[in-house]
Amino acid sequence: MGKWIKYGGYYPTWILRLFKHKLASCDRDMNEHIIINGRVGRLKNDFVDDNNKGITDWIEKHNKYATFEAKELMKNTDNPKQRDKLSNLFGSQVERKRWIREKIWNRFLPPLFRPFLYYLYRYIFRLGFLDGRVGFIYHTLHGLFYRLLIDVKFLEMKYKRKNKL
């Protein structure tokens, strides 16, 4: 909606965008955590994602992403001893996020509760409300709806497996 989202813990987020394809790999189906065999630099300016496709496309895209994330959760449930190689509390932003996901989010926070907790953290404690009306929409969709959709899909997968549907 043409507004810069500055709060809620979303900015700045360091996402690897430019890299030599031959030096890159990814150990997940989703979540933009590219592993580079070599040095990494940073752009001096912000990278703007000026996506004008609309809410319908955003929801369709995040519905697919939620399925990928739910499948990733199922993999972690099936192999609880398998450690995330990029998980490191004292590493980069990506490594810290993956450590929190592995050690706290997936292990101790129950599905359906964690999206609300994350939303409160992001919208209240990380000052997402300062992004105004557009920020409310963004943080609610990305910080609550999307995370809740992941958990619902995850629980549905567990239910289907348990009941062999």
Handedness of CA 65, 71, 72, 73 (dihedral sign): positive
Peptide bond into 115 cis (omega under 30): no
Name every residue whose Cβ is closer than 8 Å to that of residue 143 and which is 6 or more positions away in sequence: 8, 115, 118, 119, 122, 123, 128
- Nearest CA-CA partner of 146 in 82, 65, 74: 65
What integer is the mean pLDDT of 137-153? 96
Q: How do the domains of the chain map onto residue ranges?
A: 21-162
DSSP state of 102: I
What integer is the mean pLDDT of 135-139? 95
What integer is the mean pLDDT of 73-82? 80
Residue of 38 and 133 predicted with greater confidence: 133
Question: Which pairs with CB-CB distance under 8 Å and at least 24 residues apart come from 17-26?
Answer: 17/43, 17/47, 18/43
- Token readout for 141 is 């969709």
pLDDT of 52 > 80? The answer is: yes
Of the listed ranges 18-22, 78-82, 158-162, the least confidently predicted one is 78-82
pLDDT of 73 > 80? The answer is: yes
**Is the entire prediction scored with pTM above 0.95?**
no
Report pLDDT digits (tens) over 89-128. 888 777 888 888 888 888 889 999 999 999 999 999 999 9
Dihedrals phi, psi of 26, to nearest 5 degrees: -145, 135
Report pLDDT digits (tens) over 2-46. 888 888 887 777 777 777 878 777 777 665 677 777 777 888 888
pLDDT of residue 30: 65
What integer is the mean pLDDT of 123-150? 96
pLDDT of residue 31: 59
- Token readout for 38 is 């070599």
User: What does 2-65 look like in DSSP terms, one character per residue?
Assistant: ------TT-SS--------GGGEEESSSSS--EEESS-----SS-------S-HHHHHHHHHHH
pLDDT of residue 32: 63
pLDDT of residue 161: 92
